Amino acid sequence: MNKSEIIKKMTIEEKASFLSGRDFWSTTEYEKYGIPSMFLSDGPHGVRKQASASDHLGLNASIAATCYPTASAMANSWNTALGERLGERLGEEAASQRVNVLLGPGLNIKRNPLCGRNFEYFSEDPYQAGKLAAAYIRGIQKNGISACPKHFAANNQEERRMVIDSVVDERTLREIYLTGFEIAVKEGEPKTIMSSYNRVNGTHANENEHLLREILRDEWGYGGVVVSDWAGSNDRVAGLKAGNELEMPCCRYGNEDIVRAVKEGRLDEKIVNESLVRLLDLIFETDGALKDAPEQFNESEHHLFALECARESAVLLKNEKSALPLTKKERVCVVGDFACKPRYQGAGSSVVNPTRLDSVLGCIKEYPLQYVGYAQGYERYGKKNQKLRKKAVTLAESADTILYFVGLDEVSEAEGIDRRDMKLPQNQLEVLTELTRLGKKVVAVLVGGSAVEFGALEQSDAILYACLGGQAGARAILDILTGKINPSGKLAESFPYAWKDCASSSRFPGKAMSVEYREGLYVGYRYFSTAKIPVRYPFGFGLSYTKFEYADLRVTQEGVSFTLKNIGERGGAEIAQMYIGKQDAQVFRPAIELKGFAKQFLKAGESKTIEIPFDEYTFRYYNVGTSRWETEGGRYEVYIGASSEDLRLSGSVEISGTGAETPYQKEELPSYYSGKANDVGKEEFARLLGREIPYPGYKFYKKRRMVIDENSTVADLRFSRRWIGRWFSGGVRFAHAFLWKIGKRPLANTLMMGVIHQPIRGMAKFGGMSRRQMEAMLMVFNGHACKGLFRFLSKGKKKKED
């Protein structure tokens, strides 16, 4: 039976059910039509297939799989070929577990360092993020299954992520927050893409026709399936019209809404059928690949490959007086809880059950070091402990060199919550300060998924940023510290001196209902370089045990070429970066923007000619006047360097423009033309936006009282009309505070992610409620307890009320 015959025979009820999950992870199977079920699974850096108890919070264990470095770590490798090989192995493992769609990679932009999910994303730069994501996608899909880049789009915080409205001007949306997805779609050709929870300029991403139909399908030519984030569908009918085929997980009332809309003539069944065709194509194609896929994968080979990835992802940030690599003569002690219990991945839906797990303590005796012992030094979750500190100091007195492991714990950065600040835990810094007073060599190993303020960490003689290196990360750390491997990673995000230095700091995470992207284009290094704000470590920075020389730049209409030479005494890899600027621009733009990069290994004394081509993204800007990509004609500066601040070579090229009129008046947008966009006023942002800024706060009908609707969160119930909602919200918030106080912080985070910021519609979806039951729950919260309870428990008259 072909697709057309299947669709003709299906009832509208069957069609609606098919466009929603059967359960938490799989789609509906129809044996009579020969349609198999399709399984979707988390997997940005490792497959997380849950065989029994299912959740989207990372609570229940999954089948063992290789835990590779997170996207935040792999981005530091700047190695697209390595990313594609990683994708191949992810796809191989997913296929062996009979997973049709692997939910990843994540490529949201790191707008602000405090986003709790930054560890799961690549970069603050859309070009780099897009190139790496495309590589992952190509690799995953070589196995016949589907990758699923996420979260589309402008999902750059965890605070109120399911209801927040990202208010962003069209040019910034296109150039910063969509370009990475555009590259991933055009060059990776994913079969599936996931819409985000948030609203974008007032409309939920999952039902945003501008995003899903006009841009994704019409402009980029995407022909695959759009799946909602879990319980991320707001209006199912609007989502279907916009181009969302599959709602996950199972949603009882969403299916009811589709059937009702078709029968009432509000939804053309042709739209339903078109969605069915795309979904059937995906299911049949991936199911065919799974039938031929091996049921096992080479666990040892995949672990060794995870080690290779971790080696390329670590970044050497500091190495004073050649403190590294360590020598055989040094007596070395290890201090820090992370050396014993590694922090190697994030927290939330991406948590992987690793096939094995290396730790520094478990591996260190295999290395040529005079190891004298280990001390925990501090309590992992921030509590001060004088006894642990004293033991660490006593141990350190017997050593020449102290390896100090420092960083963020699993509670500090996690899905569902944003970080409170950029600081490292105070108890860890206090131990470090005491250790540095001993006058010994201190080598700090920093673990975590995003930028931090260094403070006392700068007292160290050397700093290795290991990021979140996956299950083999510990061995990669020791390989680099001992000189077995020459570090080659470079930062994919800027490390500012302080959080307040970020352009978005005054507008993160926004107000109750919206977050305003007033900084516009000036994200990360784009802001720091234009506004001349000094940073601790710039975008693209990373040290090596050797040195490289750049020379002989040639710039043509097609791209650049230059000579790269290793002038050190050992082999190593350099990441050369190409930035573009236009000093006489009439359209405001950042001082420099990354438009190409190349990673090259060179033996000692070896030199090579490196070529980086220009492409369709190099000179374009989005013109809000013409609603098109345009090119401003004239002279462009071309820079080649080792980081965004270490630009070794410069040249220029004359580019023909498209002749479009400049859509801005300089005097109306002074902050954007100067690049000092950290404190943009309301009127200026409204001019950039081209409309009034929506009211960002709650809408009360009287003092601190609001009507609760399906998009109100559990936290919002504190403003409900009657005591039931306020009591429920207060109880949940008290439980969160109590769990945090008694040290049950992971559980407190789960409560925050899964309940406090969950909208009522999300509770209804996860609870398998009908629309009638959800409406009854709203009646209870809005002061009609008896009527609501009766409605919830009764079946009602199906023809009208269901």
pLDDT tens per residue, range 322-333: 999 999 999 999
Q: For residue 597, what is the domain's CATH number? A: 2.60.40.10
Is position 512 within any domain? no
* Mean pLDDT, range 56-69, rounded to an integer: 79
Give the total residue count for the chain: 802
Measure the CA–CA gap between 290 and 224, rounded to whole angstroms: 19
Q: Is residue 57 predicted with pLDDT exceeding 60?
A: no
Write out the E strands in 282-359. Answer: 315-319, 331-335
Q: What is the DSSP string of 546-557?
A: S-EEEEEEEE-S
Domain finish residue from 261, 292, 323? 292
The DSSP code for 154 is T
Given a cut of 80, whether residue 162 has pLDDT beyond it is yes
Question: Which residue do the tokens 């030094």 mark?
Answer: 377
| Same domain flag for 634 and 753 | no
- Of residues 239 and 750, which shows the higher confidence score? 239
Nearest CA among 470, 346, 469, 474 for reference residue 409 = 346
The span from the CA of 271 to the CA of 264, in Å, is: 15
Same domain, 721 and 635: no
pLDDT above 80 for 754? no
CB contact at 8 A, 306 and 298? no
Does residue 141 contact residue 147 with C-beta atoms inside 8 Å?
yes
If asked whether residues 215 and 341 sit together in one domain, one would say: no
Q: Are residues 47 and 167 in the same domain?
A: yes
Asked if residue 635 is part of any domain, the answer here is yes
Task: Give the residue-averaged pLDDT of 629-637.
Answer: 98
**Domain ends where: 292, 326, 345?**
292
DSSP symbol at 507: G
Residues 348, 753 contacting (CB under 8 angstroms): yes
Residue range 543-552, pLDDT digits in tens: 999 999 999 9
Q: How many whole angstroms separate alpha carbon 9 and alpha carbon 4? A: 9
Tell me the average pLDDT across 172-190.
Answer: 99
* Contact call for residues 47 and 102 (beta carbons, < 8 A): yes
Whether 629 is covered by a domain: the verdict is yes
End position of a domain, from candidates 257, 292, 327 = 292
CATH of the domain at 244: 3.20.20.300
How confident is the model over 134-153, as a mean pLDDT?
98
Q: Which domain holds residue 599?
A: 546-663
Specify whether 788 is located in the same domain as 761: yes
Provide the pLDDT for residue 702: 84
Residue 797 has pLDDT above 80, yes or no: no
Inform me whether the pLDDT recorded for 187 exceeds 90. yes
Q: What is the mean pLDDT of the chain?
A: 94
pTM comes to: 0.95
Q: For residue 29, is it within any domain? A: no
pLDDT band at 795 (very low <50, low <70, confident <90, very high): low
Q: How far is CA 656 from CA 283, 555, 619, 635, 660, in A?
A: 46, 15, 10, 9, 12
CATH for 474: 3.40.50.1700
Q: Is residue 670 one of the residues assigned to a domain?
A: no
**Inter-axis angle of helices 386-396 and 426-436, to 10 degrees?**
30
Give the pLDDT mean for 249-266: 91
Check: CB of residue 369 under 8 Å from CB of residue 312.
Answer: no
Residue 165 bears catalytic tag: no
Check whether residue 225 and residue 146 sit in a common domain.
yes
Distance CA(115)–CA(296), nearest Å, equals 36
Domain contains 509: no
pLDDT digits (tens, 9 = 90+) for 661-684: 999 999 999 999 999 999 999 999
Which whole-number Å values give the CA distances from 225 to 245, 301, 458, in the listed order? 6, 33, 48
The string of pLDDT tens digits covering residues 474-495 is 999 999 999 999 999 999 999 9
Q: Are strands 40-42 and 101-103 parallel, antiparallel or unpaired?
A: parallel
The verdict on 154 and 264 lying in the same domain is yes
Q: Does residue 308 sit in helix, strand or coil?
A: helix
Describe the chain by its helix, strand, coil percentages, rounded to 5.
35, 20, 45
Reduce the DSSP state of residue 714 to 3 states and report it: coil
Beta strand pairing call for 620-623 and 628-631: antiparallel
**Residue 477: partners with Cβ closer than 8 Å, 6 or more residues away:** 310, 314, 360, 445, 464, 466, 469
The band of 11, judged by pLDDT with boundaries at 50, 70 and 90, is very high
Q: Would you say residue 43 lies in a domain?
A: yes
Cα distance from N-terminal residue to C-terminal residue, the chain: 34
Distance CA 192, CA 189 (A): 9
Which pLDDT does position 266 carry in this prediction? Answer: 97
Residue 416 lies in a domain: yes
| Confidence at 736, pLDDT banded by 50, 70, 90 | confident
The total of other beta-carbon atoms located within 10 Å of residue 656's CB is 10
Could you tell me if 306 and 284 lie in one domain? no
Mark whether 627 and 592 lie in a shared domain: yes
Q: For 192, which DSSP code?
A: E
Q: For position 257, what pLDDT does the model report?
A: 93
- Same domain membership, residue 399 and residue 326: yes
pLDDT category of residue 516 using cuts at 50, 70 and 90: very high
Provide the pLDDT for residue 801: 38
Q: Pick the catalytic residue: 42, 125, 169, 229?
A: 229
pLDDT for position 108: 98
| Parallel/antiparallel/unpaired status of strands 192-194 and 225-227 | parallel
Helix intervals (H) in 667-759: 670-674, 682-689, 723-741, 745-751
Tell me the C-alpha to C-alpha distance, in Å, between residue 490 and each of 116, 304, 458, 507, 532: 22, 22, 18, 28, 21
Query: Would you state the pLDDT for residue 527?
Result: 99
- Predicted confidence at residue 54, as pLDDT, reads 57
Q: What is the CA radius of gyration of the chain?
A: 27
For 502, which DSSP code? S
Cα 586 → chain centroid: 33
The predicted structure's pLDDT at residue 798 = 44
In this prediction, residue 749 carries a pLDDT of 77
User: Above 80 in pLDDT, residue 609?
Assistant: yes
Number of domains in the chain: 4
User: Alpha-carbon distance 537 to 539, whole Å?
Assistant: 7
User: Can you tell me the mean pLDDT for 146-154?
Assistant: 98
Please tell me whether residues 256 and 379 are part of one structural domain.
no
Q: Give the range among 198-202, 688-692, 727-731 with minimum mean pLDDT.
A: 727-731
Bridge partners of 535, per DSSP, are: 496
Residues 303 and 288 in one domain: no
Cis previous bond, 153, omega within 30: yes
